[in-house]
Chain A
Amino acid sequence: MLAIEVENLKKQFNGLTAVNNISFEVRAGELFGLLGPNGAGKTTTINMLSTLLNPTSGEAKVAGYDIIKEKDNVRKSIGVVFQEPALDNKLTGRENLEFHAMLYGMNKDERNKRINEVLELVELKDKADILVENYSGGMKRRLEIARGLVHKPKVLFLDEPTLGLDAQTRRHIWEYIQKLNREHNVTIILTTHYMEEADYLCDRVAIIDHGKIIAMDTPERLKDKLGGDIITFELEGNNNEFMNEVNKLAFVKSIKEHNGKLTIMVEQGEKRIPQLIKLAQKKGVDIKSVALHKPSLEDVFLHFTGKTIREEEASQKERNINFARRRFRR
């Protein structure tokens, strides 16, 4: 059964295309990740799927319901944890959950039982009756996850669930997310720009850049596609000739130059390093450093876009500023 079907979904804001004809499917029970830099269109996608935004064109179904024609049924079937906290700070944690449950039409007994359940799940029971303004960032996020679950949604959207949290809290949130998915059988769609998060949590990942899905598969298979190992050479001075020579070698699968670093994909990297060093010496190229690692999703992103995710974010920021300027002038 499919929890989500997206077909050629597109969203434009005043001529700027935020999401550009994306299509994907998520099976019921799956933990699916949208991975990409800030501004790639992840949040816009979530906003469309959760009925907050109408798409410019295309179609999508969530839990079997059309996101345009059956908004109310979609809303009943989903829980959403937004990127920015969406809590009322002047209410207690329990009151936030209670108001949520009432909005979703749950009666009092059902409400109390379920609220205690979700509070226990995120370990906030002893802090439930203090005002949210006194919560830490991690507690707020946990409360929001709990709130997203109160009405027992079939599908849970998590938009950057660990943004701005410290490493330890992040681990904790990851555990809750896994528990939800495995033990409570909730289909989860999360967005993230943290490679390790997508790698660690997701059954399947769609890599999204400039509003387009550029690769989609399990993290393992995405990494396998790059093949074997990655050797990174940091070189002194001009290295074009060396790069050409390396490219001619039979065992090199692909080679990329990026910021003075050569990224070479090979099988059995540990055996290839001496050969490559020998070649460098023959060509009179000075090597500053060598590194060998298994491909990460970061390498996958680099492979498909020619940029690291951080660089993509920087250029995206510039684009947004220019866009904002244009808008401001109007």
Chain B
Amino acid sequence: MIINTNAIYVLWLREMKRFLRAKSRVIGTLMIPFFFLAFFGLGFGKMNIPGLGNDIDYIHFLVPGIVGMTMLSTSMFAGISVLWDREFGFLKEIMVAPVSRISIVIGRIVGGATTSVLQGILILGISILMGFKIPGIPAFLLSIVFMLLISSTFIGLGLIFASKMKDMQGFSLIMNFVTFPLIFLSGALFPLENLPAWIRYISYLDPLTYGIDGLRGILLGVSSFSIIFDFAVLIVFSFLMTFLGAYFFEKSESA
């Protein structure tokens, strides 16, 4: 298998240029997490929610969850946006170039992960303005590592869906029937300990659970699992999804 670094760089550069030019899209994708943060944070802030641990305010509990949620939706979008390229023909231009399929997949993951993480950092920035405190530079850097892992996992998932769909009609279906359950199961909005046991077991299958738990461990010092465990599980998910995404993409495009 040959990896063409210049092809990966080109695809990454393309994502960056498009990202910087699509200011309205960026603002649009930031608005939903911002509203969640503001209204859930303010609305539930005075309530006594069991299981938050260590006298943590609900709004602080919410920040890693919303960052994780942003990672999930922007990454899924990045993966599925292969459909746009297919619809508008640009995919053919890439597919007919002398670069390996795996480089195309890696290029898309690297580009998508960069834009997702940038948006995650923007959300963190907004929450700092709202009074959230990050424990320090190492914690910030470690949280970026977790963001990258969440992102690559869900870009892989997005690629799998994109390979299975032939047009864009299934897009909103996926966004509603896959993204939302993944968010609710992940404990982004409430402590998983409050869920009935059987739902909690399902939530252990959701990669986002470990991503958000890890981010909470890093940023708040409270987590259900150890950070190392979260990291290990997430790395397995990330490799698995990237591999499957690449596999299905390759298969669907050379039929």
Contact = CB atoms under 8 A, between A and B. Distances in A.
A146 to B, nearest CB: 13
B252 interface: no
B133 to A, nearest CB: 38
Given A53-B255, A91-B14, A103-B6, A86 B97 contact: no
A91 B17 contact: yes
B22 A76 contact: no
A51 interface: yes
B254 A104 contact: no
A72 B103 CA distance: 13
Contact of A90 (B17, B96, B254): B17
B96 A51 contact: yes
A104 B92 contact: no
Given A86-B91, A91-B17, A104-B97, 6 more contacts: A51-B96, A53-B255, A75-B96, A80-B92, A89-B88, A100-B97
A102 B89 CA distance: 19
Given A99-B10, A99-B13, A54 B254 contact: yes
Contacts of B98: 72-73, 75-76, 103-105
Contact of A87 (B90, B253, B255): B90
Interface of B: 4, 6-7, 9-10, 13-14, 17-18, 21-22, 88-99, 253-255
B254 A85 contact: no
Contacts of A54: 254-255
A169 to B, nearest CB: 19
A12 to B, nearest CB: 11
A109 interface: no
Contacts of B253: 52
A298 interface: no
7 contacts: A52-B95, A87-B90, A88-B18, A90-B17, A103-B6, A103-B7, A103-B98
Given A102-B10, A103-B6, A95 B95 contact: no
Contacts of A87: 89-90, 93
Given A53-B255, A104-B98, A86 B93 contact: yes
A102 B6 contact: yes
B88 to A, nearest CB: 7
A103 B99 CA distance: 7
